[in-house]
Amino acid sequence: MFQQALHSLRRATAQAVVGGALVIGTLEVTTHFPSQGRSSAFYHSLADDVIVPAMRATLNPELAHKVALRMAVLAPTHRPSAKEQKLNVAVTLWDNVNFSNPIGLAAGYDKDGTAIAQLLKLGFGFCEIGSVCLRPQPGNPSPRMFRLVEDEGIINRYGFNSLGADAVEEYLQEFRKTQHPQDPNSVQWWDKIYNFLWPGSQTLVVSGLLGVNLGKNKTSETPLEDYQKLIHQLGPYADYLVINVSSPNTPGLRDLQSISSLEGLVAGCQEACQKLEHVKPLLVKLSPDLTDDELEEIGALLMRLKIDGIILTNTTTSRPPGLVSSYKTETGGLSGKPLKNRSTECIRLLYQITKGQIPIIGVGGVQTGHDAYEKLKAGASLVQVYSGMIYEGPGMVSKIRDELAELMIQNGQRNLQEEVVGMDHEHLHWERQRKLLFKRNEETTTFVIDQEDKENQGKQDTDEETSTTAQPHRLLSNGE
């Protein structure tokens, strides 16, 4: 009786294992392989076409945002499309900071750095958290975020709600642990099964760069001191740092964009960066509400100060004509599709002013590969998204990357940084191409000379060895 029961149990176990393998294999074949740039067509369809619309319909904007951050842990890992793999979409800035692709997540989505690893797995080349304040502050009272659904925009007046630097530092320490290679033998069997079924487990090593966006506390009367302390505390965990002087929701913050204030602030923050064990690139984020004359003046100042980069742009307090949503009259910063054209204009202007010598990160209304392509051509080296995630879902980044690759292929381009960035500025673009060609020729010449020197040295060494080896024979011959 016991033997019969044991035999039945073994048979049931074998059937369960075989059945499970068939189910897993079917899921792998039907959802992963044909994805073409989306980590899984099935998973993304579920998230983008079902879950995200349901959240918009049932949850208020702020609650939906919090839920989305919590659910990011379930996101599967992005797989580059076949089109993208034919191209070089990597971007290298500041000599040694390498972005695997130009699409990043803008500050504001993950203010406190609670889901960096999970968000990077969606396919972002980099993620920017913040704005982080030195001390915790709740921000403005709710409601403080509004969806302009008909206009595909967002108005927020959060007011730098932040857990504070101490709490964020702990999250950054946890994130950095995910970037160390893990011994495959140490992964538990249940994690291996989870990775196979849903490729986005925490046990996988996370790639991607991290930017930390810094802001001042609402009640602070010493903004430079705030920024310097934040750089000292959070700088060691960042790949780049951003001074936010352009949010419209903190009283007096935009006054820091005036030439008299900005010069001292940037210089003081640069000094703080130089004191880090490993110096980090410092960027400044500007407002789209600055006039063209003001942008020109600021661009000239930042050139003189040798700032590492500029982010264009933050949200706008203006309300472009044509908005139809009932929420258009709410106070706060407007982002999303209504901001797209102005942010691109700012990129084009600053690229021209700086002659392409300062890297620009473009943000504002990027929802498609074409939107990203426009900003890159205008002069952005990288682009960021935020509001589009609310309308398109987490699969948007995969779609943007695939569409961008398609546009490059159609235009006969193979290297994004060399052939796409700044191509709207014909004179600057061809001047850069000439310099790149000259640099390559110089490197090739140097390589050839080095190879010839090595060959000559090798030949000389061989002759000397031959001479040394032959000498005893000659002496022996004379002795005979």
| pLDDT band per the 50, 70, 90 thresholds, residue 19 | low
Q: The tokens of 333 are what?
A: 């910063």
CB-neighbour burial class of residue 179 (10 A; exposed 0-12, middle 13-18, buried 19+): middle
Across 338-356, average pLDDT: 97
Q: Is 247 noted as a catalytic residue in this protein?
A: yes
> What is the C-alpha to C-alpha distance for residues 425 and 192, in angstroms, rounded to an integer?
50
Across 335-363, average pLDDT: 97
Q: Where are the alpha helices (DSSP H) in 81-164?
A: 116-120
Close Cβ partners of 119 (under 8 Å, ≥ 6 residues apart): 72, 75, 105, 109, 110, 127
Cis status, amide bond into 186, omega within 30 of 0: no
Q: The tokens of 78 are what?
A: 């992005």
Between residues 87 and 452, which one has the greater pLDDT?
A: 87
Question: What pLDDT, in 10s, does the model give residues 133-151?
Answer: 999 999 999 999 999 999 9
> What is the C-alpha to C-alpha distance for residues 332 and 61, in angstroms, rounded to an integer?
14
Q: Is 10-437 in CATH node 3.20.20.70?
A: yes
> What is the C-alpha to C-alpha distance for residues 354 and 374, in angstroms, rounded to an integer?
19
Catalytic pick among 35, 201, 247, 387 = 247
> What is the C-alpha to C-alpha distance for residues 33 and 21, in angstroms, rounded to an integer?
17
pLDDT score for 179: 77
Q: Please state which of the ranges 59-73, 291-305, 437-451 shows the lowest mean pLDDT.
A: 437-451
Question: What pLDDT, in 10s, does the model give residues 377-430?
Answer: 999 999 999 999 999 998 899 999 999 999 999 999 999 999 999 999 998 888
Q: Please state which of the ranges 39-48, 136-145, 339-348, 372-381 shows the lowest mean pLDDT.
A: 39-48
Q: Please state which of the ranges 118-122, 194-198, 203-207, 431-435 shows the lowest mean pLDDT.
A: 194-198
- Residues making up the chain, counted from first to last: 480
pLDDT score for 351: 97
Q: Please state which of the ranges 16-20, 97-101, 188-192 shows the lowest mean pLDDT.
A: 16-20
